[in-house]
Amino acid sequence: MERGSDRPHRASAGRRSGGPVSPSSSTIKFVYDVDFAQPEGIGFGEVIGRGNTINNIAEVWPQAVTIECRFSGFDPRCAGMDRRSLRLVFAQKDGAWWASSTTSR
C-alpha cells in the first residue's frame, strides 16, 4: 500500500502512529506561532516558500491538494531568515477530503 494512502486522517510525525490527531496546546503554539489565518501569501496547489528543507509532499501525497500560508519574515534585521510557512495537505478518500498532513517551517 502506498505511504499516506491508508489513513489520511491519522498522525504521522515522522512515523505512522495509528492514532487520531489530538495536538497538545504546546504543539499548537509551536506550529501556529504566527497568525496563519492572515498570511502575507497563500499558495493553493503551488509552493510559494523555498528554503533548505526538502519538500516531498507531492511524492508522499501525489493526488493531494496543498495550501501554503506564508510570511516572508518579521524582523528586518533577520533578512527573511525568520520566515514562516504552514502547509496543509488534503487527500481524498472514500469521497471525502481529509487533512492528511500539516507542516510548519
Q: DSSP assignment, residue 91?
A: E
Judged against a pLDDT cut of 60, whether residue 12 lies above it is answered with no
Is 9 within a domain? no
Is 7 within a domain? no
Is 15 within a domain? no
Q: What range does the domain containing 62 cover? A: 25-104
Partners of 90 in beta bridges:
65, 99
Is 55 within a domain? yes
pTM of structure: 0.67
Q: Report the mean per-residue pLDDT for the chain.
A: 77
Is 74 within a domain? yes
Annotate 46-72 with DSSP letters as a single string. S-----SS---HHHHSTT-EEEEEEE-
Q: If we measure between CA atoms, which residue out of 91, 87, 103, 95 comes closest to residue 42?
A: 87
> What pLDDT, on a 0 to 100 scale, did the predictor assign at position 1?
37
Range with the lowest mean pLDDT among 30-39, 42-51, 63-72? 30-39
3-state secondary structure of 76: helix
Is 49 within a domain? yes
Count of the separate structural domains present in the chain: 1
Cell 511524492 belongs to 59
